[in-house]
Amino acid sequence: MHNTTNADFLSAIIKPAVKQKFYSKGACLWVCSKPYKDGSWSGAKYTKESEIHEVDKNNYFCVSLQKPVDGILTRGKKNFDVLICIVLDDIGTKALEPPLKPSWVIETSKGNEQWGYILSTPIDDASYAEKVIKAIARAGYTDKGAKGLSTRYMRLPVGSNDKPEHVATNDGKPYPHKLLQWSPKLFYTVEEILDALEISLCEDINEFKSVDTEYEKSSSESDEELIRQILTGESYHDPLLVLSARYQSRGISERNTIEALQGVMKANKENTERWKSRYADIPRAVRTAFNKYAAKPRDFKFVTLHEFLQSEPPRWFVKNLLPEKGVAMLYGQSGAGKSFVALDMVSSIVRGVDWCSLRAKRGRVVYVVTEGRS
């Protein structure tokens, strides 16, 4: 067994996030200490004065940092900031033993263990964090019935389990936690954990057969909204994943997709460790989407004259020239001024003013340069 205080334990598992400044202003560790009979799980912000050091109490910590929202600091998905570790529960009883050495192992009751993996780069997206943990649960490596996965409480090394069934097997006393393994410098990326467990996240988060249906249903948000999330830093992982698959399904090449997404990321100018991690991951994410969901040839659908005449008329960004939906091409000889024409046209769309006497509808424009060097 290893001896460490709860304070030293928490300091170690949060170290990568602190070192990289991979958290929001005001974000903090969240802890809870209570007897089993007390149904309250509210907990509180962790401080040096937090009462989580008594051996005979159920002492817990939240696997993610919590941040204040609208001035309110509490534990919940709305207040999720970053996931700092992945903890697998019920190893030895309900779950399989993972084939990957953990950062720590705590025996929480007789024959029942929690295995923890400190993340070298925290996960900053609650939905993605839950997808990862659900995928691990489906593979049998943690409790499948757990809820609130991205903000779940896990046990600290110093404490006891006073659930009646465990007290009964320990001479009527609370079962003391036992820190069986402690490797505070053993960190993993999410990808390393998933690879070791032979889990393909793509297979778990997508449930439909076709590329279009799959990714459009995985995110009902428009391309513009996904790009906005990237530009503002609100979210990176899911928008990049969904856009990769959408671009692939529309016939855009892998190289152009990578360059387009990198261009959007560069426009963010955040330049934090979080940003660098997501930017560096773009080529891999795009290749994964392209390899997993290679577009299949599509058959043209023939329609009758009656069906054609009854179809909804096209809507235009530039009347009779640039449709709202579809693909348009501006072509001409080198040096003919295509780029200037395109910029002039989209500037009219952005402002909502007529272009060359043609009515233009106001809209958002993303201009992606995929040639030359910047």
What is the structure's pLDDT at 118? 97
What is the structure's pLDDT at 202? 54
Q: How far apart are CA 297 and CA 195, in angstroms?
A: 31
Asked if 87 and 116 touch (Cβ cutoff 8 Å), the reply is: yes
What is the structure's pLDDT at 294? 53
What is the structure's pLDDT at 40? 75
Q: How far apart are CA 188 and CA 193, in angstroms?
A: 7
Amino acid at position 51, single letter = E
What is the structure's pLDDT at 81? 93
Cβ burial of 218 (10 Å; 0-12, 13-18, 19+) is middle
What is the structure's pLDDT at 180? 96
What is the structure's pLDDT at 295? 47
Q: Which residues of 178-190 are buried (b: 16+ CB within 10 A; e: fewer)?
A: ebebbebeebbeb
**Measuring CA to CA, how many Å separate 302 from each of 307, 308, 366?**
10, 10, 33
Is residue 122 classed as helix, strand or coil in its secondary structure?
A: strand
Radius of gyration of the chain (CA): 26
Q: How far apart are CA 262 and CA 369, in angstroms?
A: 11
What is the structure's pLDDT at 17? 92
Q: How far apart are CA 64 and CA 80, in angstroms?
A: 7
Q: How far apart are CA 82 and CA 103, in angstroms?
A: 18
Q: How far apart are CA 268 and CA 272, in angstroms?
A: 11
Asked if 53 and 32 touch (Cβ cutoff 8 Å), the reply is: no
What is the structure's pLDDT at 100? 95
What is the structure's pLDDT at 335? 86
Asked if 362 and 352 touch (Cβ cutoff 8 Å), the reply is: yes
Q: How far apart are CA 229 and CA 265, in angstroms?
A: 10
Q: How far apart are CA 64 and CA 361, in angstroms?
A: 44
Asked if 175 and 161 touch (Cβ cutoff 8 Å), the reply is: yes
What is the structure's pLDDT at 46? 96
Look-up: residue for tokens 């990198």? 262
Question: Which residues is 119 bridged to in the sheet?
Answer: 188
What is the structure's pLDDT at 373? 52
Amino acid at position 169, single letter = T
> How many alpha carbons fall within 13 Å on the CB side of residue 345?
19
What is the structure's pLDDT at 221? 76
DSSP strand pairing (112-123 vs 187-188): parallel
Domain range 6-200, CATH class: alpha beta
Q: How far apart are CA 176 and CA 109, in angstroms?
A: 8
What is the structure's pLDDT at 179? 96
What is the structure's pLDDT at 201? 66
Residues of the chain with pLDDT under 50: 203-218, 295-297, 374
What is the structure's pLDDT at 240? 86
Residue range(s) in the chain whose domain bears CATH number 3.30.70.1790: 6-200
